[in-house]
Every structure is written in C-alpha cells, then in structure tokens.
Structure 1
Amino acid sequence: MTSPVELAPADCTYLHLDTARSPMHWAMVLELAPGPRLHLDEVRARVRERVRLYDLFRLGVRNGRWRRAEAVLAERVDIDKHVTGAEYRDDADLHRQLAARHETALPRPEPLWHITLFTPAGTGVQYVLLRVHHALSDGIAGAAFAALLADGGPEQLTEFERFATTPRYRIPSIDPEVLKESKAAFEDQWKAGRSGRDWPELTRSGRREVALTSASTRDLRRAARNHGASVHEFLLAAIGRTLSLAPPRDTSSELLRVTLPVTHDQGFRHTGNAVLVSLVNLLGAEPALDRQLERARAELAFVAAKRPELSLAATDDAPKIPWPVHRAIANASMRRMSPDIHIGINPGFSQVRAVLGTPIAALTPISPLVGYSFSVTGLILGGRTSFGIVTDPAALADGYAATFAGNFDRVLREAAEREGAHP
C-alpha cells in the first residue's frame, strides 16, 4: 500500500469519533426491481471492472484511533472480501441483518467500503447494501461509489467524477467576526435545548436497529403545500410530531436537541467531507403538526441567518496538535453537545437507475449514530423519497425503529390527505 493523499480535517473528525462499538460508516440500501435475480459472481465481476476507475475506491486508512491516521492506497482490492452475499427470510430478517452490518466496523487498512448482495430465501426482491466509512466521504460525495455498480458506459459514468476526482474538500479559515457570531448562535441553541429534555442517551452497547420506509415525493410536496411549508420544514415537523405521538419508553421530552447536517459546499462538487453540523431544538411533546411547523420554520430561519454550523467547522488552519489529544477533544465536544437525535434530508443526484440490467426501485440512506440514539435520514430522489431509521435499542427499547417507521408513515399519509387552505 502507498500513501496517496493527506486526509482533510473534516475527514479526520469521523476517525476521532469512530469506536469499535460505534463505527462511523454510512450505508445505502438499493432495492432492486422484481425480475431475474443477480448472481454474486456477476456483481463481483462488475465491481472488479470498476474498482480501478478512481483512487477513491482503493483508499483505506491505517491506524486512526489513538495513533495518527495515514491514508493508504491498496495496490489490489480483494473483491471476494469486499463483495459478499447473504440470504434473508423476510423483511424483519433483512432489517436485522442490515443492523448487524451497521454495528460492524470496516476493517483497516483495507479500502473502507463493502457491498453485500441480499437474496430472498423464497419470493421477494434482492437488495444491495453499500457501506462506506464517513472519513472517505459524506453522503453527498458518496454518490461516487455508485460507479462501482451502476449500469452505463464511460459517458454515463462521468456524472460521478465530480465526487471522486476533485481534491478532498477543505474548509478555509473563517472570518473572525463571522466565527464569533456563529459561536454565539451555537451557544444560544445549546442553552435553549439544555432543559426540558428527557430523551434516552446513546449507550455503549454497540447494538443497532434499522428500519426502511418511503413516500411519494409528489405526496410530500402536496402535504408541505397543504400546510404552507417547504418540504424541509414539513419533514422536520412530521418527524417531531411522530416522536411526540409515539416516544420511546413512554418518555415525554419537551424538547429534542437535533443535529442537522448543513453542507459547506453549495456547488455539490466535492470529494470527502463538506458536511457541518448545526443544532436545532424541536418540540418533543407536541402532537399538533401546525405547532411543529412553526417551530421547525423558526429553527431553520435561525440556522440560515446565524450559521451556527460554522462554529464547529474543522478548518484547514486549525492548530496542529497530537492525534490522541485531538481525538479526546473531539469526543469531549460531542459529549458536551449531547444531541438527542439526528435528522438529515438529502438531495439525490444520480440519473443512473439500474445495476446489471435490473432497475433500482428505491435507494435508502442509513447514517451512523454519532452521539445520538436515534437517526432518520431522508433521500429525495426523483419520484420517491426514502427514509432510513437507525436506533440504539438498548436506549430506546427493542423494536422502536419499526415502531417509528409505522407511525411516521401514518403521519405523512394524514398530512398528504388534508385539504389545505394554502394555495
């Protein structure tokens, strides 16, 4: 293995936060349309053909916990190890297997991604699970990894290049006055969410549960329009309402401290990580959607105006300190932030919608639990918006991921069916 690049500070953040019980990889679940089943050998052959397209696919990390991380390029990728197959009995079994893999760290210093082809034991459709360490890529730049599988010739595959070949994203120094205002805004948000919270904390169990659901993008837009809201405002409010109607362990948390990802790259043309974290405080015991919308709208307006996410930006001019010290500081900062939940609403980019001739019926993102015990991540891609739910069952109780998914479906349906007064 050789050393190709120096990881950017934002990339290293996810190495600092990574532990054996809380691995920092995100995942994408591809649901394949009904039809002839793919064979594992076919998938491996496609990946073997594509893995040399970009250095990103051969990028791994040596060390990175208590010893300084070193980016390394594999001379050869063992495709049989990186692309594996599994059988599932039903949806519940599939979700259990997805959760088991979400709990399992990707081995170092091998390239930090893995693909699993899930095939039903009886009737049903196939799924592909792609896992990628967050140090390699955030969810937006993660579109590059679609090139490992997606159908298309060189011309079609060029759409992925901007996420694989640009320099790793770096955040320059921030104007002192802007940073001062950002830090004050972040502190205001943190203080506002300090009381009235009773959400169960992430445990050290290392256990995860996963649930998947989706909705028509057209229905979501209609529901948002019915309530005079943007889709982003509406989804935050709908999640707040769902958690209020069916909280875990019958808790009643007045407020929910939420980490909300905000990209620093408005051009969406980066490799690596350009995501920053903002804090918003949603209502945790408010079943009225309109009240939830008022709060979501105000919180998003505050974030847009004050940009609190800049206060924690891993900039290129940050002081150079020993790796173990930096890791300790990163983890102490996360403990101090003490978020309850994570909500990500992401745009989709790919126009390639098939793998080895089989159409992709749905793409669902799954996020790691970074200091919080509950995460819901949405992907708006064409006519379908998908949601990946991840929970710590030791904190929220067994089965809560599926419970939330069912209640969330109902909340979205009810909102879409309402005849709004807004034009």
Structure 2
Amino acid sequence: MKYLLSIVVILLSLVSCTSPGTVAAPTLQNAEYRQSSALTEPGTIHIWTSWEGAIFERLQQAVDVFQNTHPQMSFEIQFIPFNQISAAYRTAVENGGGPEILIAPGSIGGELFLSGLAANTSPFLRSEMQVDLQPAAISSVSWEDSLIGVPLVMSGVVMYRNASVFKSAPATFEELKVLSAAASDKKTSVYLDGGFFFTGGHLFGLGSELMDQEGHPELANNRGAAWLSLIKELAEFGPLAFNSDDDLHAFLEGNTGILFDGTWNLNRIRESLGEEKLSIDPWPAVDGRHLSGFVQTDNAYLNPIKLNTSQTASLDFLKFLISPQAQTIFLQAGQIPVHNSLDIPDPFIQKIRSVFEGSTAYPVDPVMDRYSSSLNTALQRLLYEGWSVEDILVQAEQDILRDLDRDYP
C-alpha cells in the first residue's frame, strides 16, 4: 500500500521555515469547488492531527481500509500536539501551505472557519450528515447555514451513578433532591463541579440561550436566573468542586453517589468502581424540560487553498470517515461514534450515545472563550461569594461585553 506515516512534532518555527512566502489568508468566497467525480488520479492526502495513542492507531487503520478501494492514493499523517496544532496550521495555511485535512478538537473550529482557514463542507456533505449523524454532532459543526468541518467522534458531560449508593436513577430533579436528602452522609450524595463546562449545559436544557445572533449576552432574564438558582440548589445536595478532579476522585473511591463528569473518564471510572456498580443515566427532567450536558466533537477540517487540487480525494476520504465502517474502527478505540446506526456492543457507550441525543452541543462561536471565563467568575460569585442571582447576571453581561469590546473592536 502507498502509505507513509510520519509522526512529527511540528514546532511553529519549523512550519514558518518550510512554508512558501507569505500570502493573504484564503477566504471561503475565493475558494473554488469542483464537482465530485470518480477518484482515479493518483495523489497524496496530507493529514495533520492532534490525535495520539489508540485513536491515532485507529486513524492509521482507517486509512489502510480506505486504500483497499483507493490504491492509487497515498497518505502522510503528521502528529502535532494539541497545544500547538491550531497555531501551526494557521501559520502554514496563511503562508500558502498546510495539509489537505486537519483533524483536531472542535474548540478551534469556529476561529479557523471565520478566518477563512477551514472550508464550508455543507455543499458536499450536509445530506449524508443529516441522515446518518447524531444531531448534537451536526450542531457542533454548524455555523448559520455552513458546516465548518466534519465531526468524527464525540465526548461530553454525562451523569454517572454509583448503583451501590443510589439504587435507582432519578427521573426528575425532584427525585434527585429526594435521593440526596435520604443519603446517610452528605459526602455520599451528589458531588457537583460548579465550573461552567460542567454546569453550562443545564442553561440550554432549561430552554435558555447564552447570546443573541450578534453575539451579545442574553443572561439577565428569568431563564438565566432559573439556571443559577438550579445550580445553587444542586450545590447544596453534597460536596462541591470547581474545575478540579476532586469530585472524580471521590467517585472513583466509591464515596459519592452521583457525578457529572466527562466521557473521557469512562474507562477510569468503570475500572475503579466496577461495571456492576456503574450506571450512566438520562438527564433528569425539570419544569417540563431536562438537565443537559455539553457535547463536543473532534472534527476534520478541509484546507480551502488545497481544494482545487485535492477536493475529490479529500471529500471521498471524509465521507469514508463518517461511514459505519470507519466509525466502527474509532469505536474500537473507545470513542463515541457520531454515526446513528452502529451496532455498539459496549453497554456504557450505548447509554452515552442515547444521552447525547438530548444533550447540548458546545457553541462553536469563537467568543465562547470570553463567555466561559466570565461565567466561571459568575459561578464562583454564586457558589462561594454570596452574590445575589440578579447582581451576578447583570455583572456577567457587563464583563462579557467588556471583553468583547476589547478583543473584537
């Protein structure tokens, strides 16, 4: 097989030295797309990825399987650490280079797309994605009428339960309150991490929004107040952490009943707690809606300046990556697939995928960094400093607007 694997840690200085002379960053309006046709011409697809370990190995396997039906294509895969990949890719593309495909976390996608460094895949893949993929996965790459990338795998916040502490799943918030009140020790009840990533999904679950269409905050209202009041009540059910692993460690030791935490810790939790004690439950209902957790995806992004020479090959490969065959390969690495129709033998991943159907895609807007920072401060004021809900929301909006004016004049 024509397969070249190079595991390379690319530093920004290296990218700058090997890229062509500086050119203006490409824009989506300038990108010309060719109609997809049969892939017959030989060529090489270059992939940069922050994936490592088991999922990197599965990406290699997916490439091998794809090459069985596309033997004329070769691949070069380069590993770049997560904390370097965005800057490395940006520098390369702005200098006229970079790979055909970037595989990286969804957190960088919005900024790349709005900078013209990731192509809109909607004209080519929307129909396949709408039919075959999880709604939260599609939302995670949706920007207005565009798709900023192709979601490959998912992760997010779910509700873990120690079935030896709480025998049954709370179907409603009121049942969760009753369970926590009945706990013999407050430490064995609900252990909440009050950080925004672990509690912000509930805002959307309650039917609210963070911002309007112009990106301005919409928090100082009844729904924003309902969200903070709910978080305050949750914090009273048991111990409290804040953007730390204290809650996780207590759950791993079997010392707490319910944990809101990321799916990336699934294997640690079930190995430590034991599969017979572990349950992953649907989000409890509250006031006609339900609690919710944020879902994020790792995505494949198309380099717009490479489309004229590699569009057909790249799109064929991306379609393969969201096919049941490739998604099953990623599943073997313990990843949560984005495809709807896979037969999933792992009961915990089955439950996670079911929970994700009603979960909230983490917003792709690049201003989310400013929102997240201000809302973490707001939650600290709520949980530790005794501010009133009304004052917290008003101040949070002011803080966000200040940061937006500073960073996006």
**Higher Rg of the two aligned structures:** 2
Instruction: Please say whether Structure 1 and Structure 2 have the same fold, judged by a TM-score greater than 0.5.
Output: no
TM-score (norm 1): 0.30
- Going by fraction, where is strand more abundant, 1 or 2? 1
